[in-house]
Amino acid sequence: MAYASDIQLIGKEFFRLHFVENNGMAFGITFGGEMGKLFLTLFRIVAVCALGYFIKLLIDKQSSYSLIISFGLILAGALGNIIDSTFYGLLFSDSYHGGLAEFMPTEGGYGKLFHGKVVDMLHLVILRGVYPSWVPYLGNTPFLFFKPVFNIADVAISAGVINIILFQRAFFKGESMEQEQDQQEQDQQEQDQQEQEQTEQGPIQEQRDLGGLNQEHGDHSEEGDMLGDGANNKNK
């Protein structure tokens, strides 16, 4: 597709392919020029590494599949934008209105490593109109919702974030329930161990008590014998 060209998909303008590029974040948001672009790309790489490690921890803890999928969508979307911003400047010539970018041009790409542009191509127009005259600063000016052009990576990131926001209480409740269940199992194991120790100590204590009674009975028998012997000697 040529830069800024359209392909209608649904309706006259409701949903269409619209090829543009941006230097910044999701939905065409820019960030601080060339240095900002470099910082944003490096930050994405670090964030993706940290997010990948966090997802591994969630898998090891056997967390909710919905939570893992949500973070997986965010990771996949971030990786998609990283590929664009890291390599596309080396692989393609600069795009321009009415023409096609060239893949692997002989004179080199339009940018350096980590300075590529993110490709956006999805445009969803839900509402178009004109602001009422009484709206300050915007009266009688046209408005468009949804104006930003986005890509599939943005959709994945947004879906993951929205799912976490809507169901984060359920996620955290699930985590706390798992922790509470683990604590209950640990307490039950300790209680079972204490009962087992008490059960094992019961016969030992009974044997000790029995031994004490036998010893006491023996002492009384010896005392009786001695008294009996004394009485016999006295009679003699």
pLDDT digits (tens, 9 = 90+) for 26-80: 555 566 667 777 888 888 899 999 999 999 998 998 888 888 999 999 999 999 9
Question: Taking a C-beta distance cutoff of 8 angstroms, is the pair 102, 93 a contact?
Answer: yes
Catalytic residue among 60, 84, 120, 225: 120
3-state secondary structure of 95: coil
d(CA 184, CA 66): 25
Which among 184, 174, 172, 164 has a CA at the least distance from the CA of 73? 164
Partners of 6 in beta bridges: 18
Cis peptide before 146 (omega within 30 of 0): yes
Catalytic residue among 154, 182, 209, 219: 154
Could you confirm whether 120 is annotated as catalytic?
yes
Which residue is associated with the tokens 């965010």? 74
Q: What is the pTM of this model?
A: 0.67
pLDDT digits (tens, 9 = 90+) for 94-149: 887 777 888 888 888 888 888 888 899 999 998 889 999 998 988 899 988 888 88
